[in-house]
Amino acid sequence: MARKKGGKKGRKRSLFGPARHPKYAKIVKFTTIKDARESARRLLREFKSAKTRDKAVRVKRVTVLAANRAEAAAKRRKLSKRERHQLRRIAEVYRKAADRMKLPPRR
């Protein structure tokens, strides 16, 4: 049987693709651990002030994705020990922030 090519479901998305939500892309930073902490605090504030569950889910997803990106970036081969350590710590910061975000139950 012939398979269709392409389509939305058939395409594989990259972890480092273009930002789906530009607002949150401006908040998330990977430059220093201090910047990551600031960003995580801002995302936590956004999460707590979310009026809808959809927004809370979006903010948590952005935070988890930031942690995943930092972990993936830390696995690159051409990094110094310092850079690798820094990216792992940044991933830890975002992961802890995501753990603190408890979603309300679905209706």
Asked whether residue 10 is assigned to any structural domain, the reply reads no
Asked whether residue 40 is assigned to any structural domain, the reply reads yes
Say how far apart CA 53 and CA 67 lie, in whole Å. 21
Asked whether residue 30 is assigned to any structural domain, the reply reads yes
Q: Which domain range does residue 44 map to?
A: 21-100
Asked whether residue 88 is assigned to any structural domain, the reply reads yes
Burial 47-65 (b: 16+ CB within 10 A, else e): beebeeeeebbbbbebbbb
pLDDT confidence of residue 11 = 65
Asked whether residue 1 is assigned to any structural domain, the reply reads no
pLDDT confidence of residue 55 = 96
Provide the whole-model pTM: 0.84
| Dihedral sign computed on CA atoms, order 69, 62, 44, 97 | negative
Q: How many domains are there within the chain?
A: 1
Residue-level pLDDT, tens digit, the chain, 107 residues: 565 555 556 667 677 778 889 999 999 999 999 999 999 999 999 999 999 999 999 999 999 999 999 999 999 999 999 999 999 999 999 999 999 999 988 88
pLDDT confidence of residue 3 = 59
pLDDT confidence of residue 20 = 87
pLDDT confidence of residue 104 = 87
Q: How many residues are present in the chain?
A: 107
Say how far apart CA 5 and CA 2 lie, in whole Å. 9
Residues 6+ apart with CB under 8 A from 78: none
pLDDT confidence of residue 6 = 56
Asked whether residue 15 is assigned to any structural domain, the reply reads no
Say how far apart CA 101 and CA 81 lie, in whole Å. 31
Asked whether residue 76 is assigned to any structural domain, the reply reads yes
